[in-house]
C-alpha cells in the first residue's frame, strides 16, 4: 500500500468523524427543541452547539463509541486484509453511517426529555418570555416561574 493512499484514508477519517458528531448533534437539537414546538432556524443556535450536542449523544451511547473504537483498532491492525474491502465500499458505508447517526440523536433527545419531564422540569426553574411587536424594538423580558403555571 502506498503512503499517499494511507494519507488519503486518514484524511477521510479525520473529516468524517467530526461530520458524524455534528450530524448527531444536529439531530439531537432538532428532536429536543421539536418537543417544545421550536424550530432550529428560528432559534439561531450557533453551529458549535451542534458539536456539543453531538458529544452528548456520544455520552448517551458510550458503549457504541467503545465498540466503534475497538473495530477501528482491529481494522487498523488488519488493514492489509480489510482495506481492500472497505475502501471500494466507501460510497456505500459513508451515507449509511449518517443514516445510522441521525436516529441516535433523536433517541438521546427523547431520553433526556423523558428524564426532564419525569423530574418535573426541575432544570427549568425560570423561563424568560418576551414579545417584540416590532423587530427593531428591544423587548422587555418577563420572568415566569414554571411552578406558577402548573
Q: Give me the pLDDT at residue 150, please.
A: 47
How far apart, in whole angstroms, are the C-alpha atoms of residue 41 and residue 35? Answer: 15
pLDDT of residue 8: 74
> Using an 8 Å Cβ cutoff, are 25 and 105 in contact?
yes
Q: What is the pLDDT of residue 104?
A: 94
Q: What is the pLDDT of residue 133?
A: 63
Question: How distant, in Å, are the alpha carbons of 2, 32, 37, 66, 123 from that of 42?
Answer: 48, 14, 11, 36, 23
Q: What was the pLDDT predicted at 41?
A: 84
Is 31 in contact with 57 (CB distance < 8 Å)?
no
> Can you list the residues of the chain whose pLDDT is less than 70?
1-6, 87, 123-150
**pLDDT at site 116:** 82
pLDDT given at position 54: 94
As beta bridge partners, residue 128 has 143
What's the CA gap between 61 and 57, in Å, rounded?
Answer: 6
Amino acid at each position: 500500500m502506498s503512503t499517499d493512499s494511507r494519507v488519503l484514508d486518514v484524511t477521510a477519517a479525520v473529516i468524517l468523524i467530526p461530520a458524524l458528531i455534528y450530524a448527531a448533534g444536529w439531530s439531537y437539537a432538532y428532536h429536543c427543541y421539536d418537543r417544545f414546538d421550536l424550530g432550529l432556524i428560528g432559534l439561531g443556535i450557533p453551529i458549535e452547539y451542534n458539536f456539543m450536542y453531538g458529544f452528548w449523544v456520544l455520552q448517551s451511547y458510550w458503549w457504541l463509541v467503545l465498540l466503534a473504537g475497538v473495530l477501528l483498532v482491529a481494522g487498523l491492525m488488519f488493514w492489509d486484509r480489510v482495506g481492500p474491502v472497505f475502501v471500494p465500499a466507501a460510497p456505500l458505508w459513508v451515507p449509511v453511517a449518517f443514516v445510522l447517526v441521525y436516529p441516535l440523536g433523536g433517541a438521546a433527545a427523547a431520553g433526556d426529555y423523558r428524564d426532564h419531564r419525569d423530574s418535573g422540569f426541575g432544570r427549568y426553574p425560570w423561563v424568560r418570555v418576551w414579545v417584540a411587536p416590532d423587530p427593531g424594538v428591544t423587548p422587555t423580558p418577563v420572568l415566569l416561574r414554571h411552578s406558577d403555571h402548573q
